């Protein structure tokens, strides 16, 4: 939770600093009035205030939404939420592609360990890949 808050604050600081610089330069060019610059800085900082406890408002709102059914496609759900929670969406997409299990890779290494042994030490990588592939085919293709 704290890592997500930190990422959101970093993203917010980066976008705010460029927006504030643009607003300041535009305001100075238009009126050259110090109080207009001050008013704009106050307006931009008050719209992005955090709740007590340091959790960004957008993240708090997202966490208060009902949980999505497991049968729904998470990519489609996040695509719908992209406009509502843009900063949370950016962070979610950054970590969304991570595989949540290691079973497929463990299965592959187990099969490779069965094929490449001390007795078959001279087998090449290409040949081992071919044997592993052939071993992964269903039995119906062998008859």
Render pLDDT for 15-42 as a digit per residue (tens, 0 to 9): 555 555 555 555 455 555 666 776 776 6
Please indicate whether residue 41 or residue 10 has the higher confidence score (pLDDT): 10
Check residues 28 and 141 and name the one with the higher pLDDT: 141
Question: CA dist 49 to 9, 17, 79, 86, Å?
Answer: 10, 15, 26, 16
- Per-residue pLDDT tens digits for 51-99: 566 678 888 888 888 888 878 888 898 899 899 999 889 888 888 876 6
Residues in the chain: 143
pLDDT (0 to 100) of residue 18: 55
Domain coordinates in residue numbering, the chain? 20-47+56-97, 102-141
């Amino acid at each position: 939770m704290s890592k997500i808050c930190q990422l959101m604050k970093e993203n917010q600081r980066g976008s705010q600093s460029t927006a504030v610089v643009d607003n300041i330069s535009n305001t100075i060019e238009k009126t050259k009035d110090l109080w207009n610059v001050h008013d704009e800085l106050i307006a931009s900082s008050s719209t992005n205030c955090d709740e007590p406890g340091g959790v960004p408002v957008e993240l708090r709102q997202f966490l208060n939404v009902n949980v999505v059914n497991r049968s729904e496609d998470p990519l489609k759900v996040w695509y719908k939420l992209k406009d509502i929670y843009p900063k949370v969406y950016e962070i979610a997409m950054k970590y969304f592609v991570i595989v949540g299990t290691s079973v497929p890779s463990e299965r592959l290494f187990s099969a490779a360990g069965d094929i490449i042994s001390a007795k078959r030490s001279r087998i090449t990588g290409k040949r081992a890949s071919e044997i592993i592939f052939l071993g992964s085919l269903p039995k119906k293709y062998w008859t």
